Structure 1
Amino acid sequence: MTGHDLIGHVGATLLDSVWQAALVGLETSVALVGLRKARPQTRYTTACVGLLLCLLWPVVQLVARLYGGTASASGTPVLVQMLAGAGGAGSDGWQAFLQAHLAWVVVGWAACAGALGLRMALGLVWVGHQARTHRTDAHWNERLTTMAAQFRITREVRLRVVDVLASPVTAGWWRPVVLVPASLVAGMPPQLLEALLAHELAHVRRHDYLVNLAQSVIETILFYHPVVWWLSHRIRVERELIADDIAARQLGEPRRLALALSELERLQFSTYHLAQAANGGDLMSRIKRLVRPDTQTSNWKAALPVLAMAVAVLAGCAGTTPGSSALEHDAVTTKPIAKFNSCAKPEYPQASLARRAEGTVTLRFLIDTDGSVAEAAVAKSSGDALLDEAARVAIAKCRFTPGTAGGKPVRSWVPVQYVWSMS
């Protein structure tokens, strides 16, 4: 596979991820509405599954494009095929534009993802530097160790006092560290600081740092999609509610944690989101929830119809590829035959001509009972997206002798190869 092929496949996958993530977001939002009275853990899990699907669906499709060798592995984005099916006045122009600029899509995505990845790496370095170089507080370090044992945390949890933070944050998984602002150690009443540390230990107990790190990776890869940022925000909000519940149960005093959070409202929010901070989410709503908790029922069963619908929709979309056999007839006795005298020869695109691009494209056409082309798609790319599209558009205008089954015309698929050669 050439570098040009790889860029084409990645670009097509990026374009298709736009509608894929939008569909996942729609289904997840409906599920979350149905679960609005459920426990935070249920909503948290639902949002995590949605965010993971936003990444896995494009990854699976990219692997299929690279190694499938079928119509589902086509280098042509499904988005472009949708435009073709819409048949609007400007559809051909949009198809050609998207196909011609796939390389720029990939370059732009790689540049932005690289910048965000560098930012994430610098954040990790900063947190590691604070954990190694800043002082500890013997009293609070001992108190944190005692509290960690009460939380049944077997790993050592370290405490570091940092000047530049506004609230405690937790980082690390194997050797977790809680970074505490010096202003809180010096000025906050001990019982309130202890409540904030209990919140941070709840994050350590749940291994939230790893999930948050995975979120940051997905945000870096799919930075261009608002659904990804919305789901990630919902995950962080629900995660803070879960940590509040665990800390309140451990302390036995929800109001003490609420009072501690109210003190944080006056402080500047931390910008280091790779760590778990006690000031995440909406502080006022969290405070009200701790002081006046709503009666919640674990009505996860209310989401079952929504989840079933989501599975059905996703399965349907996964199956609506040009290679689907839903419209093919196993009993076809004669295959469709192209009447090449009914259509013009595909014209060499000027850009491909300038590059002296050549290759063989394999197309698939769904031929209706009257011999017209109902659907057309690229099954195997020639290596040049413009050549693929030019062949698809031109041959789709041909008339065919329809396939037959039992002597009657039937709709059926037929493969067609076209060789592009400069000679």
Structure 2
Amino acid sequence: MTPGLRVAAAYATQLFVIVGVATLAVWLVRLTRPGARLLYWRAVGAICLALPLLSFQISVPGEFSVEFGKAALIGPAGDPAVPYIVNAGAAAAWVWGAGVMVCLARLAAGALHLFRLRRRSTPAALDAGIDSLRGDLAPHAEFRWSPDVRQPVTFGLRRPVILLPHSFAQLDADARHAVACHELLHVARRDWIWIVVEEHARAIGWFHPAVWWVVERIQLAREQLIDSLVVTRAVS
């Protein structure tokens, strides 16, 4: 195995260890509060992304050395295998970069799809209770009817929009209020920007299941936190 591939393997192994230990720790300490779980998994994700920066060094004069996340490989610069090593490392970098570009292209396509959904939607005039709730939580948010969605879809930062399926009107008043409150809390907490960051992090680490696991834990904890906030507002 070439030094570049060994470095990548070391990093991948470190991610498995960190995420595995983090998952076990959540189970051992019974971390059940959604807000605490959200902060915890965000911290784990930040550590995973920052790991390459914690210990990274490449030096070529007189020797070939790589140190990456405590994994170090050293060989003489005159070794005839060095050109092969460089080529293999470049190939691995190209594969990773191609994967990142594919993921980013999918994100761009998703953003374009959301733009089209918004353009095809129509303004929604809801009851006074929901309108009052919107004024309290996110007065800059806009409710719109969309024939293309089956569940509420919330996105946008400067001009946040909440797309509602037509089936929303068939819910009883309490259910409509709870759903609207859930989506408005997402807007009030600016969760859209967090989702964008998380999906870009997933794109960078597309090759590693641990990255996908951490992103999914973050997003699950956020939804659980919003649900708990909705319940708290309902009983207060």
In which range does the TM-score fall when normalised by the shorter chain? Answer: 0.7 to 0.9
Q: Conserved in 1, the CA contact under 8 Å of 2:143 and 2:164?
A: yes
- 3-state SS, counterpart of residue 113 of structure 2: helix
Report the counterpart of residue 11 of structure 2 in structure 1: 17
Deviation at 1:229, TM superposition (A): 0.8
TM-score with structure 1 length normalisation? 0.47
Structure 1 99/241 Cα, relative in aligned 2: closer, same or farther at 3 Å? Answer: same
Superposed CA deviations along residues 57-91 of structure 1, whole A, max 9, x for unmatched, are 124545x44xx889xx9446665739x9xxxxxxx
Q: Give the structure with the larger helix fraction.
A: 2
Give the 5 Å matches for 1:283-302. Answer: none
Deviation at 1:26, TM superposition (A): 2.5
Match of 2:133 among 131, 140, 147: 147
Higher RCO, 1 vs 2 (CA within 8 Å, ≥6 residues apart): 2
For the aligned residue pairs, the C-alpha RMSD in angstroms reads 3.3
Deviation at 1:28, TM superposition (A): 1.4
Q: State yes or no: 1:81 paired with 2:73.
A: yes
Deviation at 1:14, TM superposition (A): 4.2
Q: State yes or no: 1:197 paired with 2:177.
A: no
- The alignment of Structure 1 onto Structure 2 pairs a total of residues equal to 226
Report the counterpart of residue 172 of structure 1 in structure 2: 156
Give the 5 Å matches for 1:19-418. Answer: 19-61=13-55, 64-65=57-58, 74-75=65-66, 81=73, 101-139=88-126, 143-151=129-137, 153=138, 155-185=139-169, 187-252=170-235
Long gaps (5+) in structure 2: 76-81
Q: Conserved in 2, the CA contact under 8 Å of 1:158 and 1:177?
A: yes
Compare CA radii of gyration and give the structure with the larger one.
1
Superposed CA deviations along residues 143-183 of structure 1, whole A, max 9, x for unmatched, are 544112333x3x50111211121211211123221111123
- 3-state SS, counterpart of residue 126 of structure 2: helix
| Inter-partner Cα distance in structure 2 for 1:59 and 1:175 | 35
The residue type paired with residue 145 of structure 2 is V
The residue type paired with residue 56 of structure 1 is A
- 3-state SS, counterpart of residue 215 of structure 1: helix
> Sequence identity, in percent?
21
| Inter-partner Cα distance in structure 1 for 2:215 and 2:28 | 19
| Inter-partner Cα distance in structure 1 for 2:159 and 2:21 | 37
Structure 1 10/53 Cα, relative in aligned 2: closer, same or farther at 3 Å? Answer: farther
TM-score with structure 2 length normalisation? 0.81
Q: Conserved in 1, the CA contact under 8 Å of 2:55 and 2:67?
A: no
| Inter-partner Cα distance in structure 1 for 2:95 and 2:214 | 23
The residue type paired with residue 139 of structure 1 is L
| Inter-partner Cα distance in structure 2 for 1:27 and 1:227 | 11
- 3-state SS, counterpart of residue 223 of structure 1: coil
Long gaps (5+) in structure 1: 1-7, 85-94, 254-423
| Inter-partner Cα distance in structure 2 for 1:243 and 1:198 | 9
The residue type paired with residue 112 of structure 2 is V
Superposed CA deviations along residues 79-135 of structure 1, whole A, max 9, x for unmatched, are 5739x9xxxxxxxxxx99876521221111111110110101111122123224410
Q: Conserved in 2, the CA contact under 8 Å of 1:44 and 1:239?
A: yes
Q: Conserved in 2, the CA contact under 8 Å of 1:12 and 1:102?
A: no
- 3-state SS, counterpart of residue 151 of structure 2: coil
Structure 1 116/221 Cα, relative in aligned 2: closer, same or farther at 3 Å? Answer: same
The residue type paired with residue 31 of structure 1 is A
- 3-state SS, counterpart of residue 102 of structure 2: helix
